[in-house]
Amino acid sequence: MTRFNERTMPPGSAVGAPPGTDSAPPRSARATLALTSAATAVALMTYTAPVVTLRETAAALHTPLSAQAWLLNGTPLGLAALLLVAGSLADDYGRRRVFVAGTLALGLTTALGGLTTSTWAFTLARVAQGAASAAILASSLGLLVAAFPTPRGRLHATGVWGAFVSGGIALGPLVAGAMPNWRVAYAVLGAAALLVAALSVRSLTESRSPRGGRPDVAGALAFGLALVSLVAALTLGRDGWLRPQVGLLLAATVVLLALFTVIERRFAPTPMIDLALFRTPRFLSSSLAGLVTGLTVIGLFSFLPALLQQTLGMSAMDTAWLFLLWSGLSFAVALQAKRLAGRVAPRWQLAAGFLLHAGGALAMLGALDAGSWPRLLPGLVLGGAGSGLLNAALPLLAVESVPAARAAMGSGAQQTFRYIGSCAGVALTIALATSTGGGLAHGADVAMVVSAGMAALGAAGVMALGAARVTAPGRQV
């Protein structure tokens, strides 16, 4: 695959550095890494904040159990719908521009979310937060590829960035649990995002890879509506999968995805995604791994804290500390796992991550039914290590599976699948936990078994696909 030409902006951009340079990155590159990592952490903190305050939030908004999936799925829905669009816009119109706009929007929408008084208003605020987070996540890796052009520098930068994904997941529940109430937590997170936006305006260097043409509005609309239909079907399905409205929503999803494919292939002058990439094993591996991560890891651990509170009577803060064992270990492993790159093939790292998650889920079986939180500890340790391996491998594979000039699009594509999987995984976990006879504890065991099984299939899938041989950054054969 031929590499695109990269147009860089003047002084301070590291894109033009000689390929063999291994010296310390310039100050502008270090600032880029610091700000993109900080914004990513805040975005993930916002994402996971409701995990430990779900019961309190649902009570304040008078949300019935059947609609609680929307409180968790609003942000992943916004992420999944806008990541591809954000990645294309960042590459074409400026990664710094999209990043700053996304960080500013995240601050405002998060603060507004804390002021809502109804389920639908809160859900809409969460969708807007997801859209803003999409701009941050998709443009961040594009900015890092531009700032760290050498393989060694890119390896270091994506490793640190992946660790901050885990760090944000770890800190979100702690911040939310430590605040007097969930509304104050949203105000604090909104202020943090606005601070990062202010610092980014002066510190980041612009880069882009313009292809010409106009934004793919028709493709974005078709894809976004397809995701809304899918999430609505999965959420309503817990009350009966054979109901007509569920079938109609699933049919609409299929039709809209088909329409999106036609638009991208025949009508979009600058398509959001090059569909030919799906013929390359490495891009397929990246997409599959993102999807399975959302289905299994994010799906299970998004609702597990609420299950702990409802079955074991744990407080939000106690749940956050217990959750930190999983997420904190994920951060530590992701920070160190970059040392594996070049020594361990991505497919092996991904497969190990999925198998560790599967082992962790199975190790937690029976803990809730026994009323014993200490029995969760081995499973949280195994799951945390697995999540760390996944968070370290996924961003590097995302940018290496596409031409370097389309790094933001590659990041957006993989994370789109990740958050599609998250929407489906959360809805599935809630459905299994609340609809299975035998109570919540038994339902949680069923959800854990299903999560472990899907993770094992994901490990087999990435191993079967393998990885395309890379001859140079951004080139595949």
Residue 169 in tokens: 């997941």
To which H or E segment does residue 19 belong?
none
For 89-103, 182-196, 240-254, 269-283, which range has the lowest pLDDT when averaged over its residues?
A: 269-283
pLDDT at 388 over 50: yes
Residue 407 in tokens: 């790094």
**Share above pLDDT 90 across residues of the chain, in percent, rounded to a whole number:** 32
Q: List pLDDT tens digits, range 185-214.
A: 999 999 999 999 999 998 888 887 766 556
Distances (CA, A) of 108 to 27, 87, 101, 126, 186: 29, 21, 11, 11, 10
Backbone Cα Rg of the chain: 21
pLDDT tier at 98 (50, 70, 90 boundaries)? very high
Q: List pLDDT tens digits, range 295-313.
A: 999 889 888 888 888 888 8
* Cα 320 from Cα 299, distance rounded (Å): 17
* Cα 311 from Cα 314, distance rounded (Å): 8
> Residues 6 or more apart from 14 whose CB is under 8 A from it?
25, 26, 28, 29, 146, 147, 148, 149, 153
pLDDT at 19 over 50: no
Which amino acid, residue 38? A
Task: Output the pLDDT for position 21.
Answer: 42
pLDDT at 444 over 70: yes
Task: Output the pLDDT for position 108.
Answer: 96
The better pLDDT of the pair 152, 365 is held by: 365
Task: Output the pLDDT for position 238.
Answer: 64
The better pLDDT of the pair 284, 100 is held by: 100
Q: Residue 7 pairs with which residues in a beta bridge?
A: 208
Q: What is the mean pLDDT of residues 162-170?
A: 84
Task: Output the pLDDT for position 166.
Answer: 80
pLDDT at 364 over 90: yes
* Cα 149 from Cα 156, distance rounded (Å): 11
Residue listed under structure tokens 């809502």: 116
Q: What is the mean pLDDT of residues 89-105?
A: 90
* Cα 38 from Cα 36, distance rounded (Å): 5
Residue 166's closest CA among 335, 348, 402?
335
> Residues 6 or more apart from 190 whose CB is under 8 A from it?
106, 107, 108, 109, 110, 111, 112, 114
Torsion angle (degrees, nearest 10) of CA 152, 153, 158, 164: 120
Please tell me the pTM assigned to this model. 0.74
pLDDT at 254 over 90: yes
Q: For residue 77, count other CB atoms closer than 10 A to its CB.
A: 27
Q: What is the mean pLDDT of the chain?
A: 83
For 12-21, 108-117, 191-200, which range has the lowest pLDDT when averaged over its residues?
A: 12-21
pLDDT at 340 over 70: yes
Task: Output the pLDDT for position 361.
Answer: 95
* Cα 327 from Cα 302, distance rounded (Å): 12
Residue 93 in tokens: 């119109």
Q: At what angle do helices 119-147 and 407-435 cross, to 10 degrees?
A: 150
Q: What is the mean pLDDT of residues 138-152?
A: 85
Residue listed under structure tokens 């699933």: 250
DSSP of 63-124, one letter per residue? --GGGHHHHHHHHHHHHHHHHHHHHHHHHHH-HHHHHHHHHHHHHHHHHHHTT--SHHHHHH
Write a three-state SS string for 223-260.
HHHHHHHHHHHHHHHCCCCCCHHHHHHHHHHHHHHHHH
* Cα 244 from Cα 140, distance rounded (Å): 41
| Residues listed for the chain | 477
DSSP of 285-306, one letter per residue? HHHHHHHHHIIIIIHHHHHHHH
The better pLDDT of the pair 423, 12 is held by: 423
Task: Output the pLDDT for position 341.
Answer: 66
For 22-26, 201-205, 240-244, 453-457, which range has the lowest pLDDT when averaged over its residues?
A: 22-26
Phi, psi (degrees; rounded to nearest 5) at 28: -65, -35
